[in-house]
Amino acid sequence: MKKPTISIVANFYNSRKFIPKLLYSIFNQTFRDWELICIDDCSPTNDFELITSITSKEGYEQQVKVIRNKTNVGISKAKQIGIENAQGLYITFIDGDDWLETKALEVMVTPALKYDIDYVIMNYYRRYPLGIKQPINNITDEYFKPLFQPEIKDKYFISFFGINKINVAYWGKLIKTDIVRQSEFKHINYPIGEDLLFNMYIFPLLQSMMFVDYYGYNWRFGGITSSKHNITKTKEIIEHFAEIYRIKRDFAIKHNYTKAVLPMLIELKNILLNNISALCTTKKVKSDVISLIDNIILSEKYSDITQLLSNPQYAEDPIVKGVCTKDAMLIYSTCHKYYKRQWKRRFLKSLIRFFNYRIGFIAN
């Protein structure tokens, strides 16, 4: 049997209400030489049955492979199962609650095949409830132009270290399958940061890449995620981000990428600020939050932030000072003030969650 040009890997968990839109967005693609690998990660909402039913009804049994995990293995391992089963020259990913524009595959694969490009990346829409959409583009003016090393590293590698020039998610890209399999990326069982690490490990392997000026991916903002915070969950998130920072730092050192140092440190400081701030409400016990801060700064997991003291722009930053002097109260008061200033952003997120979960996500 002839192997397809593109393997599309889609992972599903509690995605039932989104499945029809995703499937039909692929069935209606103008580029037809694809296979779709669906990973039902032991979803309790019978995702497997719905995918199989729609696929059979529309006559796509030969192009769609549905794999049902016996246990829930998480996003990273589910995607890895898809990669292992991919037969295509190129691979692309789609999350279970998202969908593609009709020409997405065609617009990416046409120049990829013409110029033998390793990595093609398109723009996307951030989708909100009630059909509201926001176009998000990659920060470049080099569309439809083949790019090669060392220019790729010089201009765009920084995106994985705190200065976002390109979308670092799994989705919205077309990547040579052989390159994905060559990557030394170690999958992690946590839904934060794995997209970035996956692409970061691929980037040094690229010989060529291209940006296409087409908004071809639709990402449901807050579609199946939650932003609830509590002491235990926040501690887990903060510790996980510290581990991601360590991985990125070591990777930058390995590739002699010194320009990553400052943005990574700033990013680490902001992670601490944003996550602690989410706990600094009147409903939270102040002593518990301070105890968490003490635990974090005494563990030394965020101690690299003190390197910002040598930078005049950040030497007086209270988070930097608080980590340096191990002053949990200073960090708490700074985060509490920041929390008060962010009320508009919290209100908007609350509205989005309300529409997503109480009324239903309308984004046609």
Task: Check which CATH number belongs to the domain holding 53 and give it.
Answer: 3.90.550.10
What's the pLDDT tens digit per position in 138-193? 999 999 999 999 999 999 999 999 999 999 999 999 999 999 999 988 777 676 88
pLDDT at position 343: 53
User: For strand 6-12 and strand 173-176, is the pairing parallel, antiparallel, or unpaired?
Assistant: unpaired
Which structure tokens are listed for 139? 């920060």
Are residues 261 and 199 part of one domain?
A: no
Are residues 314 and 201 part of one domain?
A: no
What is d(CA 90, CA 67) in angstroms, rounded to the nearest whole number? 20
Residue 122 backbone phi and psi in degrees, to 5: -115, 170
In a domain, 145, yes or no: yes
What's the pLDDT tens digit per position in 291-326? 999 999 989 999 999 999 999 999 999 999 999 999
Are residues 250 and 171 part of one domain?
A: no
Q: What is the dihedral of CA 86, 88, 91, 93, to 10 degrees?
A: -60
What is d(CA 187, CA 79) in angstroms, rounded to the nearest whole number? 9
Residue 359 has pLDDT above 70, yes or no: no
In a domain, 85, yes or no: yes
In a domain, 334, yes or no: yes
What is d(CA 177, CA 350) in angstroms, rounded to the nearest whole number? 39
Are residues 210 and 235 part of one domain?
A: no
Are residues 114 and 51 part of one domain?
A: yes
Could you give the percent of the chain with pLDDT greater than 70? Answer: 90
Over residues 355-360, mean pLDDT? 51
Q: Are 263 and 308 in contact (CB under 8 A)?
A: no
In a domain, 312, yes or no: yes
Tell me which DSSP letter residue 143 carries. B
In a domain, 64, yes or no: yes
Are residues 289 and 323 part of one domain?
A: yes
Are residues 82 and 198 part of one domain?
A: yes
pLDDT at position 226: 45
What is d(CA 64, CA 70) in angstroms, rounded to the nearest whole number? 19
Are residues 153 and 33 part of one domain?
A: yes
Residue 364 has pLDDT above 50, yes or no: no
Query: 134 has which bridge partners?
Result: 126
Which structure tokens are listed for 199? 């692409």
Are residues 109 and 150 part of one domain?
A: yes
pLDDT at position 350: 58
pTM above threshold 0.85: yes
Q: How many domains is the chain built from?
A: 2
Are residues 203 and 56 part of one domain?
A: yes
What is d(CA 38, CA 65) in angstroms, rounded to the nearest whole number? 6
Over residues 112-127, mean pLDDT? 98
Residue 89 backbone phi and psi in degrees, to 5: -65, -40
What is d(CA 329, CA 338) in angstroms, rounded to the nearest whole number? 14
Q: Are 181 and 90 in contact (CB under 8 A)?
A: no
Range of the domain at 313: 231-345
Are residues 298 and 238 part of one domain?
A: yes
Lowest mean pLDDT: which of 27-36, 145-154, 269-278, 332-341?
332-341
- The residue out of 186, 220, 254 marking a domain boundary is 220
pLDDT at position 360: 47
pLDDT: is 113 or 342 the higher one? Answer: 113
What value does the mean pLDDT of the chain take?
90
pLDDT at position 225: 44
Residue 213 has pLDDT above 90, yes or no: yes
In a domain, 354, yes or no: no
Are residues 280 and 140 part of one domain?
A: no
What's the pLDDT tens digit per position in 251-287? 999 999 999 999 999 999 999 999 999 888 766 578 8
pLDDT at position 1: 63
Over residues 101-118, mean pLDDT? 98
In a domain, 363, yes or no: no
Residue 363 has pLDDT above 50, yes or no: no
User: What amino acid occupies position 233?
Assistant: K
What is d(CA 119, CA 112) in angstroms, rounded to the nearest whole number? 8
What's the pLDDT tens digit per position in 218-258? 999 875 444 456 888 899 999 999 999 999 999 999 999 99
